Amino acid sequence: MAVTRGFQGRRAADPSRVPPGQYVTRDFPVLSAGPTPYTQLDTWDFTISGAVDEPVSWSWTEFQALPREKVTVDIHCVTKWTKLDMTWSGVALDTILDAAPTQALHALAFSDGGYTTNIPLADLRGGKAWIADEYDGRPLDPEHGGPARLLVPHLYFWKSAKWIRGLDLRTDDQPGFWEMFGYHNYGDPWKEQRYYGD
C-alpha cells in the first residue's frame, strides 16, 4: 500500500471537546425552521426592549461602530453534529447589555422570520455570548444567519438565533419557538439536554 509522505490520516478530535452523543464534522450544515430572510442592511437594527427603563436600538452603521471581538469556539448542534474551531467576529453581549441596565433574569431573542429562543441573561454575560456578523473572516451568509446572529457556543446551536433583531428582557422565562415544540428549555450539550425531560 502506497502512503503519501506526510499523510497522517484523520486525526481524532480531543474527546474532552466533544459532548456526549455528538460527532465532529468539517461541514457547516444549514438547518432552518423556515425560509431564509434576506434583510437589507439599511433596514436592519438591533433592539433591547422589555424590562428596561427605555428601549435601546442600534442601526447597522451604529452596530458596526461598537467594539468588536474575534472568537474561536466549538459549536454543538442538537442534531448531533459538532464543528470545532469556528472563528467568528462581532460584538459581545456584555457591550450591548451595558447600554440597557435591567433587573431582568431572562431574555427572549427574536429574529426576522418570527423565530424566538429563550436564554437566561446570565448565559449572555461574562464573555459567553456575541452578536456575530462575520464567520471565518467574511460577512455572515444569510443561510447561516446573516447579516447577524446570536452566538451562544456553550449551549446547543438552536439557542444561537439566526437573523437576530433583538432581545426582549424579561423578569419571567418565556419559552421560544423550539422550546414550545418540546426542545429542552436550557439546552446544555454536555448534559444532552436536547428535549423536554432530558
Residue 173 lies in a domain: yes
What is the number of structural domains in the chain?
Answer: 1
Q: Has residue 102 been placed in a domain?
A: yes
| Of 130, 158, 10, residue with least CA distance to 72 | 130
Q: What is the 8-class DSSP label of residue 64? A: H
Residue 100 domain boundaries: 43-191
Residue 140's region, left for phi above 0, alpha for psi from -120 to 50, else beta, is beta
Residue 197 located in a structural domain: no
- pLDDT tens-digit profile, the chain (198 residues): 343 444 343 446 788 899 999 999 988 877 766 678 888 999 999 999 999 999 999 999 999 999 999 999 999 999 999 999 999 999 999 999 999 999 999 999 999 999 999 999 999 999 999 999 999 999 999 999 999 999 999 999 999 999 999 999 999 999 999 999 999 999 999 999 999 887
**Secondary structure class of 97 (helix, strand, coil):** helix
Q: What is the pLDDT of residues 122-158, one digit of tens each?
A: 999 999 999 999 999 999 999 999 999 999 999 999 9
Is 107 part of any domain? yes
Domain assignment of residue 30, yes or no = no
Rounded Cα distance between 91 and 3, Å, is: 46
Q: How many Å apart are CA 72 and CA 120, to the nearest integer?
A: 23
Mode of pairing for the β-strands spanning 81-92 and 69-76: antiparallel
Q: Distance (Å, rounded) from C-alpha 102 to C-alpha 51?
A: 6
Q: Is residue 24 part of a domain?
A: no
82 in any annotated domain = yes
